[in-house]
């Protein structure tokens, strides 16, 4: 009987030991599972908070860069470095998004805007900032004096210092520097851009077709015999520009009442092609991304 009691006690000890091991293992598994769950939860919250903030920043940046009514209204409130605009009533298209949001736009420097959004999801908060700087386009070229912010593709545009004739269908871009001449002969079918500096000459032969754009700096000369009914492009000038048409100088002014040409006598078909260049943003160029933080 003593042997049986000894064996029974040993069995009980082993049972208790086994139970203890199981409890320890179960506790470890539960602890590991909980830790894994919390890490996953925090990661998901961090990702959601980041994506929320990034989405808000990108949306506001698109408004500013696209010069929409909202974007322009924001820019109008940023006059001096340090000025800041709080963005209210942030919502997402397509339904509610978890978390809380705040955003603001700050003019950090004369030519730099910082768009910042903060999002909190659960216990995780993320901040994202996009830095936008003013894009002055082709202001390094003389034509930029009349067309601030004009984008000129200097890598692909053909610079003309002498004379060039356009005699086929093309959408290439030409930059007429100084006293250069661009001639549209009667077989031309042009759909590109002409950037004309002061003193340059644009000559249009009868029958030439044109559906592109001409940016004519004050002092550009235009000559033509008769405009073809397919010469329907646009000629942009600054307000107050003086251009020579058919050997005569005309001053172009534009106001709320429309376009005014002085003196009278400009060819009506040609006059109808003239538009005021208004630039982009506040007349000093648009805005573009530089970096996300």
Task: Give the CA distances from residue 116 to residues 50, 102, 136, in Å, rounded to whole numbers and listed in that order.
Answer: 12, 8, 23
List, for residues 241-292, the tens digit of each pLDDT value.
Answer: 999 999 999 999 977 778 899 999 999 999 999 998 876 433 445 676 666 7
Find the DSSP H helices in the chain.
2-65, 69-76, 268-271
pLDDT at position 152? 82
Task: Verify that 170 and 112 share a domain, yes or no.
Answer: no
List, for residues 205-217, the tens digit of each pLDDT value.
Answer: 989 999 999 999 9
Chain mean pLDDT for the chain: 82
Region for residue 216 given its phi and psi (left: phi exceeds 0; alpha: psi -120 to 50; beta: otherwise): beta
Handedness of CA 286, 141, 158, 185 (dihedral sign): positive
Is position 291 within any domain? no
Highest mean pLDDT among 6-15, 57-66, 67-76, 184-193: 184-193
List, for residues 187-197, the tens digit of each pLDDT value.
Answer: 999 999 999 99
The edge-to-edge listing of strands for the beta sheet with 169-170 is 169-170, 189-190, 209-210
Domain finish residue from 117, 135, 153: 135
Q: Indicate the pLDDT class of residue 174, thresholds 50, 70 and 90.
A: very high
Task: Verify that 124 and 164 share a domain, yes or no.
Answer: no
Task: Verify that 180 and 271 share a domain, yes or no.
Answer: yes
Q: Which of 158, 138, 134, 53 is nearest to 98 (CA)?
A: 53
Is position 5 within any domain? yes
Lowest mean pLDDT segment, chosen from 33-42, 143-152, 198-207: 33-42
Task: Verify that 129 and 160 share a domain, yes or no.
Answer: no
Is position 192 within any domain? yes
Domain finish residue from 96, 118, 135: 135
C-alpha 140, offset from chain centre:
20
* CA separation for the pair 130, 109 (Å, rounded): 14
Is position 4 within any domain? yes
pLDDT at position 175? 93
| Contact present, 148 and 279 (Cβ < 8 Å) | yes
Is position 240 within any domain? yes
Omega of the bond leading into 291 within 30 degrees of 0 (cis): no
Task: Verify that 18 and 95 share a domain, yes or no.
Answer: yes
Task: Verify that 128 and 188 share a domain, yes or no.
Answer: no
**Is 283 or 88 the better-scoring residue by pLDDT?**
88
Task: Verify that 178 and 112 share a domain, yes or no.
Answer: no
Is position 292 within any domain? no
Task: Verify that 172 and 221 share a domain, yes or no.
Answer: yes
Q: Indicate the pLDDT class of residue 149, thresholds 50, 70 and 90.
A: confident
pTM listed for this prediction: 0.52
Using the predicted structure, report yes or no on whether residue 4 has a pLDDT greater than 60: no
**Tokens found for residue 153:** 């593709």
- The mean pLDDT of 161-173, rounded to a whole number, is 91
pLDDT at position 281? 35
* CA separation for the pair 162, 284 (Å, rounded): 31
Q: Indicate the pLDDT class of residue 28, thresholds 50, 70 and 90.
A: low
pLDDT at position 37? 60
Number of domains observed in the structure of the chain: 2
Task: Verify that 73 and 165 share a domain, yes or no.
Answer: no
**Tokens found for residue 268:** 């009506």
Task: Verify that 250 and 176 share a domain, yes or no.
Answer: yes
Task: Verify that 13 and 126 share a domain, yes or no.
Answer: yes
Q: What percent of the chain has pLDDT over 90?
A: 31
Is position 29 within any domain? yes
Is position 112 within any domain? yes
Q: Indicate the pLDDT class of residue 109, thresholds 50, 70 and 90.
A: confident
**Is 268 or 133 the better-scoring residue by pLDDT?**
268
Q: What residue numbers bound the domain in which 97 lies? A: 1-135
Q: Which of 194, 272, 253 is nearest to 203 (CA)?
A: 194
The DSSP call for residue 29 is H
Domain finish residue from 116, 135, 154: 135
180 SS3 class = coil
* CA separation for the pair 222, 198 (Å, rounded): 11
114 SS3 class = strand
Task: Verify that 125 and 146 share a domain, yes or no.
Answer: no
pLDDT at position 250? 95
């Amino acid at each position: 009987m003593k042997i049986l009691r000894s064996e029974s006690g040993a069995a009980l000890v082993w049972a208790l030991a086994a139970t203890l091991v199981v409890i320890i293992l179960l506790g470890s598994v539960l602890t590991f599972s909980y830790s894994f769950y919390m890490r996953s939860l925090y990661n998901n919250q961090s990702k959601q908070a980041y994506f929320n903030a990034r989405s808000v920043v990108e949306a506001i940046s698109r408004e500013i860069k696209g010069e929409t009514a909202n974007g322009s209204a924001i820019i109008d409130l940023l006059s001096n470095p340090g000025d800041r605009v709080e963005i209210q009533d942030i919502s997402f298209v397509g339904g509610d998004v978890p978390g809380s949001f705040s955003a603001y736009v700050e003019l950090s420097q004369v030519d730099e805007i910082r768009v910042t959004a903060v999002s909190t999801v659960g216990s995780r908060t993320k901040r994202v900032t996009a830095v936008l700087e003013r894009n002055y386009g082709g202001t390094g070229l003389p034509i930029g004096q009349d067309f601030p912010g004009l984008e000129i593709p200097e890598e692909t545009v053909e610079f003309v210092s002498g004379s060039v004739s356009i005699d086929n269908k093309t959408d290439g871009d030409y930059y007429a520097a100084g006293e250069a001449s661009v001639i549209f002969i009667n077989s031309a079918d042009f759909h590109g851009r002409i950037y004309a500096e002061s003193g340059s000459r644009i000559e249009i032969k009868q029958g030439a077709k044109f559906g592109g754009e001409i940016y004519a700096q004050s002092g550009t000369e235009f000559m033509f015999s008769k405009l073809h009914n397919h010469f329907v492009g646009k000629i942009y000038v600054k307000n107050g520009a003086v251009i020579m048409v058919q050997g005569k100088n005309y001053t172009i002014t534009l106001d709320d009442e429309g376009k005014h040409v002085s003196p009278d006598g400009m060819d009506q078909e040609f006059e109808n092609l003239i538009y005021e260049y208004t630039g982009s943003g506040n007349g000093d160029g648009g805005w573009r991304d530089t970096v996300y933080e």
